[in-house]
Structure 1
Amino acid sequence: MSAKDDRHQALLAALQRQQTMGVAELARVLDVTEMTVRRDLEVLEQDGLIERFHGGARLTPRASFEPPFVLRERMNASQKRAVAAAAAGLVRDGETVVLDGGSTGLALAAELSTRRVTICPLSLRVAWAFERSTSVTLLLPPGVARPGELSLTGSETIDYLGRHHFDRYLLTASGFTIAEGFTEWNAEDAAVKRAALASAATCVAAVDAGKFGRLAFADVCAIDKPDCVVTSDDLPGGALSALQQATQSVHLAS
């Protein structure tokens, strides 16, 4: 990423932590001038990611509580790439793999695009990421593409997954906690993820540490259901030992 992209990501992360911040405070956190912050806020507002007010900004509120895809794609980008590389490394050539959507799903697609595997993508965005791949075989499930997100949902997708037996499911999630397990903002997405989990012999959960402790709307599975949880190495204090006790296996990606 460019220096500007890095700065935008840091700015969005700061707003995510504190919800609302002033220009002067953002300038101190980012170690840049207030003029630079104002220019960055203007760009991010045009992208629909933040709302500016006199002297500061806040993240754009969403009635559904699901952050927009373009925002999620920019948040914790380096951690997602590290998690994707580690999770993809657990996939063996020749396997049939159900691959989740979302921004982490795209990062996983980038890692798998040169591998000799069969991929069943649960998102049109992820499917398109394999456009130039000459080694991946794509199995496109039927279903309804959810507006904006472009994840595949509905009874046809669930039925399709139930009629196939995959080697591995690469699960992504909006949040994960010890008590509540893996959760999703959208109930239809969660239903498809549960069907994918039932259709696969093994499951690897690929979730960056920024999602730890976050509880989304709909349950996907318990914390100990995946065979392995791959997460980034910036977990908050005490979280690693708690995950190691609660899960089958934890792999830290750096």
Structure 2
Amino acid sequence: MLPIERQVKIKEYLVEKGFASVEDLSKLFNVSEMTIRRDLDELHKQGLIQRIYGGAMANDPAFFEMSVIAKSTQFSHEKEKIGQAAAELVNDGETILMDSGTTTLEIAKNLKYKKITLITNALNVAIELAVCPQIEIIVAGGILRKAVLNTVGPQTESFINDVRVDKAFIGVEGVHPDTGISVPDLLNAHSKRVMMSIAHQSIVVADHSKLGRNTTNKIASLEDVDMIITDSKADPSIVKQLQEKTFVKIIE
């Protein structure tokens, strides 16, 4: 296969999957990792893909959702701070709901000594807290999205719709002053919308890179969000616009 042919196929693969590691692409096309890196660098130079640590992703983030592995390398320090701050809002005896995401996973890491009931559709969140005997964990079934380790679909929504929680922590891909909060996946957006509807308080956790972005599937308007927790790198002008419609907590 000629390099140009392989590069076209790599781009098509990234558009379909959203993200791929150098190692995976090397195995897929049966070439060395060095060759794949050269291909990715060339595609990046042409503006056709985005290079990230360990691999690459499709160029337009509005139409795909990165995998848990890919997300975990981005703004990890900021997500840790957001996770700590969000966990401080949780009180013993509460029933909380958390969906999938690397930021919500950071919340889970800081809840290990709380006595709570957790409802989640995120396998990684459930596994993180499974070692805690004082936490009751209820996992919503449904269609498993393998790249991000959460369940979606009618079964998930039906289950969640029958419960009530004190707080719901929602991870998103876009927080826009005009269009609200959003994610690329339609079923995921539906599930998150149901989660917010059964919560006494809906809290969105999003690092600064999500602010000002608008992805393809709207979850809710900002007026439906009780609080947004973000980090201090957020654009002040965007934060000001968001604050006109909801409460924004900025973590230093």
- TM range, smaller chain: 0.7 to 0.9
Aligned to 2:88: 89
CA distance in 1, matches of 2:113, 2:213: 33
- Corresponding position of 2:22: 45
1:149: how far off? 1.6
What are the ranges of 5 or more consecutive residues in structure 1 without an aligned counterpart? 1-43
Per the alignment, residue 137 of structure 1 pairs with 136
User: What is the 5 A alignment of 1:155-170?
Assistant: 155-170=154-169
In 2 relative to 1, CA 164–219 (structure 1 residues): closer, same or farther, beyond 3 Å? same
CA distance in 1, matches of 2:151, 2:38: 37
Note the 1:63-212 alignment, pairs <5 A: 65-212=64-211
Return the offset for 1:244.
1.6
Contact 1:124–1:145, Cα closer than 8 Å, also in 2: no
CA distance in 1, matches of 2:214, 2:37: 27
Name the Cα RMSD after superposition.
Answer: 2.1
How much does 1:147 deviate? 2.3
CA distance in 1 between counterparts of 2:39 and 2:161 reads: 53
Give the percent of matched residue pairs that are identical in Structure 1 and Structure 2. 22
- Deviation, 1:221, is 0.7
| Alpha-carbon separation, structure 1, partners of 2:100 and 2:232 | 22
For the 8 Å contact 1:83–1:232, the answer to whether it is kept is yes
Give the TM-score normalised by the residue count of structure 2. 0.77
Equivalent pair of 1:142/1:156 in contact (CA under 8 Å) = yes
The residue aligned with 1:250 is: 248
When the two structures are superposed, what TM-score results if normalisation uses the length of structure 1? Answer: 0.76
What are the Cα deviations for residues 122-180 of structure 1, in whole angstroms up to 9, with x where unaligned?
21111111121122110122212112222111111111111111111011101111011
- Alpha carbons of 1:54 and 1:154: their partners in 2 closer, same or farther (altered >3 Å)? closer
Report the number of matched residues: 209
Matched to 1:132, the amino acid is V
Could you list the structure 1 runs, at least 4 aligned residues long, displaced by more than 3 angstroms after superposition.
Answer: 54-58, 61-64
Gaps of 5+ in 2: 1-20, 26-32, 45-49
For residues 86 and 40 of structure 2, what CA distance do their matches in structure 1 show?
42
Q: CA contact under 8 A between 2:64 and 2:185: conserved in structure 1?
A: no
